[in-house]
Structure 1
Amino acid sequence: MHKGIIDRFEGEYAVVEFEGQTEDILKSILPKEAKSGDTLIFKDNEILIDKNDSKKRKEDIQQLMDDLFED
């Protein structure tokens, strides 16, 4: 099992970051609801969205942005 984070989508590919390296993966093999910023779990022949980690990362990023743009 390994994890990657969707950085962005480019055409029919998702650019997924694995430990600082990126890899292009066909969108068609990802879960339909996958979006930028989601953490993916690659286990056996299955790709799942780690919803807990995705939510935590989104909250952490929002907190950083709030801290950065605080008046």
Structure 2
Amino acid sequence: MRKGIIDRFEGDFAVVEIEGQTEDILKSHLPADAKIGDTLVFNENKITLDKSDTEIRKKEIINLMDELFED
């Protein structure tokens, strides 16, 4: 099992960061509700969303931004 994060969409592809490298994956292979910033889990031939990890990462980013922009 490996995990990746959707960095952006370019045409029919999603650019996904996996272990520090980027891979282009056809959007048609992703879950229909996948969006930028989502964590993907790759298990054999199946790709699923890890909503829990996505939320944890979003909260961490918000906390870092709050610390950076404190008055």
CA–CA distance in structure 1, aligned partners of residues 69 and 51 of structure 2: 27
How far did residue 11 of structure 1 move? Answer: 1.2
Total equivalences in the alignment? 71
CA–CA distance in structure 2, aligned partners of residues 70 and 13 of structure 1: 37
TM-score by length of 2: 0.95
Say yes or no: does 1:59 pair with 2:59.
yes
Task: Supply the AA of the counterpart residue of 2:61.
Answer: I
State the identity %: 68
What are the ranges of 5 or more consecutive residues in structure 2 without an aligned counterpart? Answer: none
| Structure 1 segment 1-71 matched on structure 2, within 5 A | 1-71=1-71
How far did residue 12 of structure 1 move? Answer: 1.0
TM-score by length of 1: 0.95
Task: Supply the AA of the counterpart residue of 2:39.
Answer: T
How far did residue 13 of structure 1 move? Answer: 0.7
How far did residue 70 of structure 1 move? Answer: 1.2
What are the ranges of 5 or more consecutive residues in structure 1 without an aligned counterpart? Answer: none
1:70 is paired with a residue of what secondary structure?
A: coil
Root mean square deviation, CA, Å: 0.7
How far did residue 45 of structure 1 move? Answer: 1.2
